[in-house]
Every structure is written in C-alpha cells, then in structure tokens.
Amino acid sequence: MIATAGSQRRWRRIFLVVGAIVAAYALLAPLSSLDAAQSAGIPLLTDKFWFRIATYVVMFVVLATAWNIIGGITGYAAFGNVAFFGIGAYTTGMLIAKAKWPFLDALPLAPVLAALFAALVGLPLLRLRGHYFAVASLGVGVAVGELVQNIDYNGQPVFGGASGLFLPIYAVGHRGLFFFYLMCGAAAVAIAVTWWVLRSRFGYGLIAIRENEDAAAVIGVNTTAYKVAAFALAAALTGLAGGIFSQWNVFINQDNTFPIEYNVQMILMALLGGTGTVFGPAAGAVLLQLLIQFLGGSLPISFDLPFVSSEARPIVAQVILGLLLVVVVIFVPRGVIDFFGGRTRLSLSYLRRSLRDTSL
C-alpha cells in the first residue's frame, strides 16, 4: 500500500512537471516573434501558422472546460453547447459590424447574452434527464444556428444570412499574438472558475445532483436553480470564446460558429482528459485538437496514410476519432489525468473494472 501510494505521488509529480514545461513553452515561445526578441538575436520559435493552430487549441480548452461544468460536474450531457459559442460570436460580431462598437466594449456582452439564453432555455430543458436532455439540447443547438441564418427583416437577412458577417480587422500590433494571449486569458478564467466550483458549496450541490438528484433534493439542494446556474455558467464561458473567435476570424457564418462537430469534440475532449476534474478537459482538448490537426495534415509533422487520398483524410480522421471515443469510454472512463496521474494503472483487473463500470 505504501509503495503504491509512493508510486502514485511520483507519477503525479512527473505528470505535473511535464505539463508545466509544455505549458511554459507554449506561453513563452510566441514572445520570440516580438521585434525586441528578434533584435536581441533570439531565434524565431513560432510563425503565423503556429499562432492559428495554437489559438484553435486554446479555444477548445475553453469549450471543453466550460462543458465540463454542466456535463462532468453536474452530470447533464449537453449536446448543444455550440449554440452558446455561436451566440457569443454573433453578439460581438453584430455589435462591431452593425453598431460600430469597439471590440473590447462588445466582447463583455458575449458571455452575458449567452448566459441569459442558457438560463431561459435551461428552465424547461433541465427538467429532462438522460438521453431526453441530450437530444433536446442538441435540438436547441441546431435550431439556433438555423434561426441565425434565416431570420429576415424587410427582405434583408438580419445576421448576414448564408453570406455570413464580415467584421473589420481589429487594428492591433502583433495581431496573432494578441488573440492567442486573449484566448489564453479566457482559458485561464474557465479553469479558475472550474477550480472555484469544485471547492464551493455550489459545486458540492452539483456533484450531489450528479450522483443522485432525488437524494440531493431531499437534503435541501435546490436542484433546478443549481442546474440552471451551472448551465448558464458553462454558456457564459463558451460565449466568451465565441466572442473572441468572431473578431479573430473576421468572418462568421453558420458553418464556423454553429458546427455540430464542435459539440462532439468538446465532449470527447472532456472525456479524454477526465470529466469532473480541473485540468482534465484542458489536457484532453490539447491532445485531441493536436491529433485532429495531425490527422488532417495541418501540422508540420505528418505522414501519408496508405490507400487514403488527401481528400479522404478528413473522413478517416472522423473514423479514428469515433474509435478513440469508444476506447476512451470503455477503457479509460476517468480520463488521462486519472490514468497517467498514477491513481490507476493498466492491468487486467483495471480493464475488467472499467468494462463493468461502463456496462449496463
């Protein structure tokens, strides 16, 4: 028992050190692109292409961490959180493109409107449970995207319609660096909020709902209020990421702000890293998004799949992601944070227990 505990602590320390080194490099390497760094002779460690990939990775850290609040901590598997991403993107986009607001003035309203919408639809939706809630939330995500694309006023699309919405480019020095660190700030906020939730009375109430909602109600937890609050909190963080994305990408439409695959990806990221944990969804987002970019041939390091054309690579990537989801749910249901953190180890008994826990 003592040896096992020592091994767990050692693996946890190794995991934390490696994670800290990777995070430090990812945060500090972009500074090599500054003029002062180049004048000092520091080698360029990143470029514009790296900035784009890194910003996407960090964006999914926010999305997966936000989903974890309602899906991992509360236990309600929401499949429509992309609606909040789109609402945040269009809130910022409309205020900038139509009302001529400055970006930094428009951005705070993105999480506010996303949270208000989540509270509004959450009151009826969160009375459902299990697959009923999952399907209903998915329907909301699809419906909001269709409404945004098809709402007209006097024959003119309100939100740009199928043509989308073009935003003026935000005039700021080192634009890629600015939006990368802005998205990192949103990720830090999402992780900090998760940390606070897990250590608060509010978080204990959400965990009680996840474990047994009827028992939680008996001991005095206002389950409806707690669930709606968690849903709104997740929506606010997701909307914040959407608001940043709209100005960073300059162009938004239904395809890039309400993509259904984002729902699946953020859930898989949380599952891969470890639901109900602080850093699990973030770790899962980094691993899975890099895998997606790698399989899609977007990373500098790539390989040719035998008998697969370049046009078919995205399809193969989706197949691999589907298989990965099955493997994670069955064999690593607690995520890589738990597995590589030393709390569990690969053995026949571990695989048997995982199969037993994930079977009906």
Three-state SS letters, 67-121: HHHHHHHCCCCCCCCHHHHHHHHHHHHHHHHCCCCCHHHHCCHHHHHHHHHHHHH
Q: How far is C-alpha 48 from the chain's CA centre?
A: 22
Averaged pLDDT score across all residues of the chain: 84
Round to whole Å and give the CA distance between 26 and 46: 10
- Kindly report whether the global pTM for this prediction surpasses the value 0.95: no
pLDDT digits 0-9 by tens, 36-74: 777 777 777 677 777 888 899 999 999 999 999 999 999
pLDDT digits 0-9 by tens, 332-352: 666 666 655 545 555 556 556
Closest to 27 measured CA to CA, from 5, 57, 2: 57
Round to whole Å and give the CA distance between 161 and 169: 20
Architecture of the domain delimited by 48-166+177-312: Orthogonal Bundle (1.10)
pLDDT digits 0-9 by tens, 176-230: 889 999 999 999 999 999 999 999 999 999 999 999 999 999 999 999 999 999 9
Please report, for the chain, the start and end positions of each structural domain, with discontinuous segments joined by +.
48-166+177-312
pLDDT-based confidence at 292, cuts 50/70/90?
A: confident
pLDDT-based confidence at 101, cuts 50/70/90?
A: very high
Neighbours of 299 (CB within 10 A): 15
- Partnered with residue 251 across adjacent β-strands are 166
- Quick check: 60 and 79 in contact, CB under 8 A? no
What confidence score (pLDDT) does residue 27 get? 78
Extract the runs of DSSP E, i.e. beta strands, from the chain.
152-153, 156-157, 165-166, 251-252
Pick 21 or 55 by higher pLDDT: 55
- Quick check: 241 and 59 in contact, CB under 8 A? yes
Radius of gyration of the chain (CA): 21
Burial of 269 (0-12, 13-18, 19+ CB in 10 A): buried
Instruction: Please compute the mean of the pLDDT values over residues 268-277 and round it to a whole number.
Output: 88
What confidence score (pLDDT) does residue 354 get? 58
Pick 239 or 34 by higher pLDDT: 239
pLDDT at residue 273 tops 70: yes
What confidence score (pLDDT) does residue 46 get? 73
pLDDT at residue 3 tops 70: no
What confidence score (pLDDT) does residue 307 get? 61
For 319, the 3-state DSSP assignment is helix
Round to whole Å and give the CA distance between 121 and 138: 12
Neighbours of 103 (CB within 10 A): 20
What are the CA-CA distances from residue 112 to residues 119, 240, 259 (Å)? Answer: 11, 9, 21
What confidence score (pLDDT) does residue 288 get? 87
Backbone angles phi, psi at 315, to 5 degrees: -70, -45
Backbone angles phi, psi at 251, to 5 degrees: -125, 135
Residues in the chain, total:
360
